[in-house]
A and B are shown apart, each in its own frame.
Chain A
Amino acid sequence: DAGVTQSPTHLIKTRGQHVTLRCSPISGHKSVSWYQQVLGQGPQFIFQYYEKEERGRGNFPDRFSARQFPNYSSELNVNALLLGDSALYLCASSFLIPGELFFGEGSRLTVL
Chain B
Amino acid sequence: EDKVVQSPLSLVVHEGDTVTLNCSYEVTNFRSLLWYKQEKKAPTFLFMLTSSGIEKKSGRLSSILDKKELFSILNITATQTGDSAVYLCAVSDHDMRFGAGTRLTVKP
Partners in one complex: yes
A48 pairs with B95, CB closer than 8 A: yes
Partner of A104, one of B42, B88, B94, B101: B42
Contact A44 B42 (CB under 8 A): no
Across-interface contacts of B99 in A (CB, < 8 A):
42
A104 / chain B contacts, CB cutoff of 8 Å: 42
Contacts of A103 in B (CB 8 A): 36, 42-44
Given A98-B31, A100-B34, A101-B34 in contact, is the A45-B45 Cβ separation under 8 Å?
A: no
The complex places the Cα of A47 from the Cα of B58 at a distance, in Å, of: 31
Show the binding face of A for B, using Cβ within 8 Å: 4, 33, 35, 40-45, 48, 56, 58, 88, 90, 98-106
- Is the contact region of chain A dominated by helix, strand, or loop, or is it mixed? loop
Inter-chain contact A101/B41, CB cutoff 8 Å: no
Chain B 28-51 residues near chain A, CB threshold 8 A = 31-32, 34, 36, 41-45, 48
Could you tell me the distance between the alpha carbons of A101 and B34 in the complex, rounded to whole angstroms? 9
Instruction: Provide the residues of chain A in CB contact with B41, threshold 8 Å.
Output: 88, 90, 105-106
Partner-A contacts on B (CB < 8 A): 4, 6, 31-32, 34, 36, 41-45, 48, 88, 90, 92, 94-101
In the complex, given contacts A42-B99, A44-B98, A102-B45, what are 7 additional A-B residue pairs having Cβ atoms less than 8 angstroms apart? A33-B96, A45-B96, A90-B42, A98-B96, A101-B43, A103-B44, A105-B41
Question: Which residue in chain B gives the minimum CB-CB distance to A106?
Answer: B41
In the complex the two chains form, is B92's CB within 8 Å of A98's CB?
yes
> By the criterion CB–CB under 8 Å, are B44 and A100 in contact?
no
**Out of A40, A42, A45, A88, which one reaches B95, CB within 8 Å?**
A45
| A101 and B100 in contact, given A42-B88, A43-B88, A106-B41 (Cβ under 8 angstroms) | no
Q: 5 closest A-B pairs (Cβ-Cβ)?
A: A42-B98, A98-B92, A103-B42, A56-B95, A106-B41
Residues of A within 8 A of B94 (CB): 56
Give the distance to chain B from A23, nearest Cβ to Cβ, in Å.
Answer: 12
Cβ-defined partner of B101 (8 Å) among A42, A44, A56, A105: A42
Question: Do A42 and B100 touch across chains, with their CB atoms under 8 A apart?
Answer: yes
